[in-house]
Structure 1
Amino acid sequence: MKRFLVQSTGNFLYGVSQGRIDKDSAMIYSCDIYQLSKLTPYNEDYKTGKDYPGQALIDAGKVEQATQLLNSIKGTPRLQLLAELGNYYLHRAGADKDDLAAASKYANLLLQESTNATDPFWQVQAYWLLGNTGAQARDLEKSQGYFVQAVALCRKTGNEPLLGRTLLYQADALPPGAPQKENIFREVTAIAKKHHLPILEHRTLSISSLEHLQSNPALVEKEVQRLMEIQKEIGFLHNQFGNYTLSFLHLVKADAIGTLKYTEMVMNDMVATKDTAFSAIYCMRQANLKSNTKNYDEALYWCDRALSVPLTKETQLVWYRAFIYRVSVLRWMDRPAAAVQYADSFSRIHPPLDDLDKMLLTAETAASYEELGNEKMALENYLQFLDLAQHFPPHFTYGETMQGYSMVANFYLKKKAFGAAKQYASLILAHPLVKSSPADLARAYTILFKVDSATGNYASAISNLQQYQLYTDSVYSLNQRKAMDALTVRYETQKKDQDIRILKQDSQLQKAQLSRSSMIGRITLGGIALLLIIVGLLYNQYRIKRKSSLDALARNTVLQQLLDEKEWLLREVHHRVKNNLQTIVSLLESQSAYLENDALLAIQESQNRIHAMSLIHQKLYHDENVSSVNMGNYLPELIQYLRQSYNVRNNVCFNVQVDEIELDVSQAIPLGLIVNEAITNAIKYAFPRGATGQSISVALLAEDTRAQLYVADNGIGIKPAVLAARAHGLGLKLIRGLAKDIEAELNINGDNGTTITISFEISQPLGNVAREKTAILG
């Protein structure tokens, strides 16, 4: 279904592009829209598993690697890769000679290596590639020669489904209007119906309807209707492409009701499939409808909707026509100056990328200048339009060229250049699509009528006037009148039936109204009384709630004041505790002057312990949060103090890694003391020999609701016997006791240095708990 979607989208885009891009570019564009491989439209029946890596390499732009892969694979994978490389080069945008040469090279290799195969599939694939390569090189004889060989091979093997696809490729490679196409279309359709191949029939109708759009527009509607039936059968939901074509056919026929019907279906299909890739084109059709009924404000709205998409060069093919049509609408609103200004300013930012858009823009610009009275600029732009129109393929210009010729003819008619006016009016009548466009026929005949009247050719003028009146009646008239008459009759019939029913019911209603009126009066009085009671209750409830709110506000204010006072007092307590601890440190410092050896060392260790606690209180009264300590700030500062205290400079390297963890005071103080004891022990005992490369590592890491503290050195370590004797040393006793206080898991390893690991559950700071409860209650 993905290939079907890409092919349907590519064919639709090729049709609406009107020759601005080739079919291969349209297919590539559709592959980009749906983010599919650029080989998707062409690799039908190919295997794409792991044993066939060519497509993945080509899609990744690694064509050279794909080419090198040919040397290492054989059999079907090699044949497929040859076909994929041929398709890659054949269907690149444009028709570059080097690309066509590369495509021909791989197609010939595929033909040589598949000639002896029992299955003709790859040989037919080679003929397809060679035939399409010849068609792109404009060598019709060579192209058809390969397709003839492919057709003969399919007939010989009796493979009719493959024959049908081959014939379809052959028809598509023929130039527009080739007479043999019709016979091919009929044979392929017969094969598709015989073998029940709905997708083959759909593809045939897609190609034939595009062919018949110029030669037989009446047949196109039947073909598109059949396309829609097939899509329903196979569950394909993108009906907007077919409905858009039907809306175009009815627009050309000046059938406003039909155009409106199918345009609404297009918009509904776009919403249903959530495919807005061509929303600008669909909105343009709405603008066409609104302007044809002279509802120009609505037409401008739909033009703006079409131009609300990202205006990129890559998508300009889709939205640029909306800009040109907006210039037309401004001109029809008798705002030629605004039309000229808008055309100039917009085209400076977004100039036309192809000759068709440039041709249509110059025609609208010329008409706007003409209405402004600037004949010089009008003539300059009209001549540019005519020059471009001569070089553009007529089978792709559709109705826009006829409208341009009409504007040029009217310009010359006003200047009394009757010969030129008649020449361009005649070009309208010679257009292949004019027979199905009453509006353009009416415009052509009215110009010819005026020319003949001015030149005295009255017999011809009368004939042209009659033709003009005939087609004028057709423009939004004959078909619409029939449809509107039918709608009016239906409406009047329904209205009369309804009036009869209403008359019969009137008498019953009057009787019911008399009894109902007295009841309504009683109900009304009761309702008013009840309403007054409800209002009174609501007002009383409002007063109670207001009083409760004021009381709550007063209580909250008092509580906030108390909370502020409590935090201030707590901060003051921390400040004073810190000062007292510093005083103790100072006293110990003074006492140490009179002590030596172990006593001096004990005093120094006590100073460090007190400083570890003092530093926490300092952090608390400096911080806005008086209930928790940021360990990412505290521990590095404590470690730096210990380095200075023990005069450890560069002989021991400290590695510190501390996460930004907020700990409650009840955990922060024990943890600080543990770090103090661990580092003190490491400095004192781990490095007795004073070797180089000595290091102490400290890490505090958090994971979810738990934290782990690591203090490790690469010193001499602790003997197992010492660790087993749990009474050894005040430092280790403190570490064990403090770890127990915070309910932590303690592990001390004395192998290859000493490693102390403490794992504990992080307690939520009391301040945070209080704030969360306040937020919940608030």
Structure 2
Amino acid sequence: MRCNTYFVRLINKLVIFAVMRRFVFLFSFTFIFLISHHVLASKEQQYSLSDLKAMLHQKHTLRYRLILNLRISDFYFYSKVNNEKNLDSALYYAREAYAIKRANPGLDPQGWSKVNIAKFLIRKKQMGAAKAMLADGDVNFRKNLLMSIGRYYLFKAGEEKKDLDSAEFLLKGSIKLSRLVHDIFTEQLNELYLITVKLERGDRIGTRQMYTALAKECLTKNNLDGAAEAYSTMGDHFMFSETKEKLSAYYKAMELFRMNGQGVEQMNMLRAIAEITFHEGKLAVAEKQLLTVLRWYRNNHYKNAQDIHSQLSNSYRFKGDLVNALFYALEAVKSAQLTEGDEAEGVYFSGLAQIYNEMGDDRNSVLWYKKTLESLKHKKSEFLYVNLKDLSDYLIKEGKSADVIKLLDSIHNPKNSTPLENEIVAAIKGNCYNYQKNYPLAEKYYLEMLKWEQQARLHTFSSSDSYHILASFYITVGNYSRAEYYLQRILSMPAGTYPLSRVKDVYLQLYRADSARNDLSSALLHYKMYKSINDTIFNKDKENQIQELLIKYGADKKEADNQLLRKESLIQRDELRKADLIAKITISGTLALLLIMVLLYIQFKNRKQANLMLVRHQQEITSKNISMQELIDRQVKLLSEKEWLLKEIHHRVKNNLQVVMSLLNAQVNYTDNAVAVSAIRDSQNRMHSISLIHEKIFQSETVASIDIRSYIIDLMKFLCDSFHFNQRINFEFIIPLVQFDIVQAMPLGLIINEAMTNIIKYAFPNNENGKVTVELRPLGSDYYNFIISDNGIGLPDEFDFEQSNTLGMVLMQGLSQQIDGEISIRSENGVQVSVKFLLIKPGADLYAGG
């Protein structure tokens, strides 16, 4: 007993067509197919995934690399199974494309790379994150993203009114932005989707006129692709019973694609036309059309031909040519594996299982049905139910009908299922109860199957299989008249709309019914028809061809398996080497770990002893620290007292100098000798320069240094006040803020006193006006040059500073030597006294080392 084939044929055709047209959705018990433009959502048809990745690693322009990354991303989106791993891969390549776009915005002006990132969020149903991307300021990106999100809501499975409202709102937003940037194609594509929204709302008649009007509008704007898409979509929405209108729309679309140079889209339309021709039972015409498409694919080096192979296999199977049917079914599986496109592999596995079933090869049939179910295990689809039906026939034959019923009850909910799913479940249950000889219950489910079939009907062959199941049941229970009624209804259908192998079975069942009724003439006639068709399908030559084909496929598969085994062997060898290396490393690591543990234990014991010693030492250190802190506190106190004493000493020295200066001043009052008075005044000034240093130290925060700028200015003020020159001499001070040690400040102050005294006395005779510049110039490496210059009359021509024995000159030479400086006096436009010396840091010993 062969497994029933109706449901596989029905869904096989539907899914192949859906894959070809790229989108499929259901309108009130009717499958309707919708095409989408290749820019937005396309299955890769030219290259395999490995080809695209290999091309990506070759040297290409940045623009071509961006396009390759987008094509690989789309491959994972539309040609691979929708799982976490593939979605992550799609996102990775979309981000790679976007990285190129960010560095080179002109390479992707429409923002498709970022749209693909949004597609990942949409596939993950993270709509909030996807919509948040609409905040982007790029108008082209936003219009394309609005269209992508709108399409999600439009084609969402089980969409509700709110979903259609969202789709309409988003698509209109995309239209508005498209008009803003004068993008006619995207605008009209959105208009096409809006018509589909109306169709989803139930307006089937009005939308057809809208499709036609949109196509004409596209043509007026020279948008041939847009017009082709409009006609194509309109054709998708005609029922299969409206063959003439459907074909007319497809032919118009195909011609427009041809005119616009869209070869692959032109061939896709020819495949759609072949599907309609196939439904009409014109198998030879459909075969010719599909072979034309296949030749185009081969001539243009398009590798993803598995859908065409699958359609050809289906066509040959209906003709009864199982040799070619098997050949193309195997080619479909090979092509899918070669290109790594596993999104629709269940379709190809199912087709191969169906052919093995019709050949009577139950073992391979069940094997491929199981592979089909495995590939569909993560998909809740009618196709899954179809393959479950075919596999259940085998399980029932193996005596597991009760298990099949339990399985159905656990997975099937009639309220949330489509008419086709309910029809399949009713058929399976009918078969189970028929096997259990519970005929009343079996008939109940078979009639329920027929009821659901009327709602799910797509084409005449769907009814044929329902009639075949009922006829088989009525022959089993001996109701031959009812059996003949359903069998004759199958034979009354147009030729080519039902597989020849199944027509053969119809004649065999009629022969059995006639024999049971002793209608020998009819039985002989029906048997001859059965034998004729059977000989056509299963003659010796064809059996040999099938065996040769299977041997060739087995050899190819064996070679592929051998290559895989060789690869696996190399991998296994590498893994063994790695395992051996890991074992050696593990043993070495274990020994090393033991050694480390021993060393750690020894270290622990030593550390414990050391810790005890450290505790004792710490206690000693703490005790010493306390003692040291007490000493430091005493030292700080002593230093503070010492600093206070030093300041007090400086203060008293200053006071004593003031007393001496007062005594000298008193002496002046009792002296009439002008020379003596001048000498006393000079001595007073020298004492004041010394006294001023002591005063500055007393007033400062530290006793080690003074601010030399403040000191010099105050000294100059004192000298000016002493000589009463009524501001006829202007002073310019170029002195940085520098701290001088008292050891250097005092000699320098005396040098300033001597130089200024000479300038005030002799530089500007007759009370002339003049200018004095006082400068402390840094020379680098802590060297400074102290300069006092005037613009007075200068020194006499015969004056020799080194031979001069005046007290002032001798003092300046001695004082400069005291600070290790070099003094020089020049007479040029006045007198310039210059002292070069090394600045001693405050607190340092001027006489250290010598």
Normalised-by-shorter TM-score class: 0.5 to 0.7
Aligned to 2:356: 290
The Cα offsets for residues 260-293 of structure 1, whole Å up to 9 and x where unpaired, read as: 2122222322332344455554444444333433
2:304 is the alignment partner of 1:238: yes
Distance 2:164 2:335 in 1: 39
Higher mean C-alpha displacement, 226-235 vs 240-249: 226-235
2:212 is the alignment partner of 1:161: no
Distance 1:384 1:51 in 2: 47
Cα shift at 1:139: 0.9
Cα shift at 1:436: 4.4
Q: How does 1:129-528 map to 2 (within 5 A)?
A: 129-178=193-242, 179-218=244-283, 219-307=285-373, 309=374, 312-314=377-379, 320-329=385-394, 335=397, 338-347=399-408, 350-351=411-412, 354-395=418-459, 398=461, 401-417=463-479, 420-429=482-491, 435-445=497-507, 466=525, 469-470=528-529, 472-475=531-534, 477-478=535-536, 480-481=538-539, 484=542
Checking the alignment, whether the CA contact within 8 Å between 2:346 and 2:375 is kept in structure 1 is no
Distance 2:205 2:506 in 1: 40
Distance 1:394 1:51 in 2: 36
Distance 1:51 1:447 in 2: 58
Aligned to 1:10: 19
Checking the alignment, whether the CA contact within 8 Å between 1:445 and 1:468 is kept in structure 2 is yes
Cα shift at 1:416: 4.9
Aligned to 1:776: none
Distance 1:232 1:16 in 2: 31
Amino acid in structure 2 at the alignment position of 1:360: I
Cα shift at 1:134: 1.9
Distance 2:152 2:427 in 1: 39
Distance 1:378 1:61 in 2: 43
Checking the alignment, whether the CA contact within 8 Å between 2:109 and 2:140 is kept in structure 1 is no
Question: CA distance change for structure 1 residues 354 and 177 in 2, over 3 Å: closer, same or farther?
Answer: closer
Checking the alignment, whether the CA contact within 8 Å between 1:324 and 1:364 is kept in structure 2 is yes
Question: CA distance change for structure 1 residues 646 and 21 in 2, over 3 Å: closer, same or farther?
Answer: farther
Distance 2:478 2:599 in 1: 95
Distance 1:95 1:283 in 2: 30
Checking the alignment, whether the CA contact within 8 Å between 2:427 and 2:445 is kept in structure 1 is yes
Q: Give the secondary-structure state (helix, strand or coil) at the position aligned to 1:425.
A: helix
Cα shift at 1:124: 0.7
The Cα offsets for residues 173-229 of structure 1, whole Å up to 9 and x where unpaired, read as: 333343322222222222333333122113313433343332244233233323323
Distance 2:368 2:116 in 1: 48
Aligned to 1:614: none
Checking the alignment, whether the CA contact within 8 Å between 1:130 and 1:143 is kept in structure 2 is no
Question: CA distance change for structure 1 residues 181 and 347 in 2, over 3 Å: closer, same or farther?
Answer: closer
Q: Which has the higher contact order (CA 8 A, sep 6+)?
A: 2
Q: How does 1:456-605 map to 2 (within 5 A)?
A: 466=525, 469-470=528-529, 472-475=531-534, 477-478=535-536, 480-481=538-539, 484=542
Q: TM-score, normalised by structure 1?
A: 0.55
Amino acid in structure 2 at the alignment position of 1:473: S
Aligned to 1:88: 152
Unaligned stretches of 5+ residues in structure 2 = 1-14, 42-76, 95-107, 549-590, 631-850
The Cα offsets for residues 712-735 of structure 1, whole Å up to 9 and x where unpaired, read as: xxxxxxxxxxxxxxxxxxxxxxxx
The Cα offsets for residues 456-505 of structure 1, whole Å up to 9 and x where unpaired, read as: 9x8xx967964663355224x225549549979x9xxxxxxxxxxxxxxx
Checking the alignment, whether the CA contact within 8 Å between 1:327 and 1:342 is kept in structure 2 is no
Q: Give the secondary-structure state (helix, strand or coil) at the position aligned to 2:112.
A: coil
Aligned to 1:98: 162
Question: CA distance change for structure 1 residues 95 and 383 in 2, over 3 Å: closer, same or farther?
Answer: same
The Cα offsets for residues 370-403 of structure 1, whole Å up to 9 and x where unpaired, read as: 34433233223323322322221233x855x533
Amino acid in structure 2 at the alignment position of 1:409: A
Distance 1:53 1:364 in 2: 44
Unaligned stretches of 5+ residues in structure 1 = 1-5, 491-622, 649-676, 692-778
Q: Give the secondary-structure state (helix, strand or coil) at the position aligned to 1:95.
A: coil
Q: When the two structures are aligned, how many residues end up with a matched partner?
A: 508
Checking the alignment, whether the CA contact within 8 Å between 1:409 and 1:420 is kept in structure 2 is yes
Amino acid in structure 2 at the alignment position of 1:120: I
The Cα offsets for residues 204-263 of structure 1, whole Å up to 9 and x where unpaired, read as: 134333433322442332333233233334443232222122222222222221222122
Question: CA distance change for structure 1 residues 171 and 407 in 2, over 3 Å: closer, same or farther?
Answer: closer
Distance 1:65 1:170 in 2: 34
Amino acid in structure 1 at the alignment position of 2:315: L
Question: CA distance change for structure 1 residues 167 and 630 in 2, over 3 Å: closer, same or farther?
Answer: farther
The Cα offsets for residues 136-186 of structure 1, whole Å up to 9 and x where unpaired, read as: 223123323432332122221223233223322232233334332222222
* Identical pairs, percent: 15
Distance 2:22 2:189 in 1: 26
The Cα offsets for residues 305-336 of structure 1, whole Å up to 9 and x where unpaired, read as: 445x37735266555544432332355xxx46
Q: TM-score, normalised by structure 2?
A: 0.50
Checking the alignment, whether the CA contact within 8 Å between 1:22 and 1:93 is kept in structure 2 is no
Question: CA distance change for structure 1 residues 150 and 637 in 2, over 3 Å: closer, same or farther?
Answer: farther
The Cα offsets for residues 501-523 of structure 1, whole Å up to 9 and x where unpaired, read as: xxxxxxxxxxxxxxxxxxxxxxx
Amino acid in structure 1 at the alignment position of 2:266: E
Q: Tell which structure's C-alpha radius of gyration is larger.
A: 2
Question: CA distance change for structure 1 residues 624 and 97 in 2, over 3 Å: closer, same or farther?
Answer: closer
Q: Give the secondary-structure state (helix, strand or coil) at the position aligned to 2:379.
A: coil
Checking the alignment, whether the CA contact within 8 Å between 2:280 and 2:496 is kept in structure 1 is no
Q: Give the secondary-structure state (helix, strand or coil) at the position aligned to 2:264.
A: helix
Distance 2:508 2:331 in 1: 35
Question: CA distance change for structure 1 residues 13 and 446 in 2, over 3 Å: closer, same or farther?
Answer: farther
Cα shift at 1:447: 5.4
Question: CA distance change for structure 1 residues 227 and 198 in 2, over 3 Å: closer, same or farther?
Answer: same
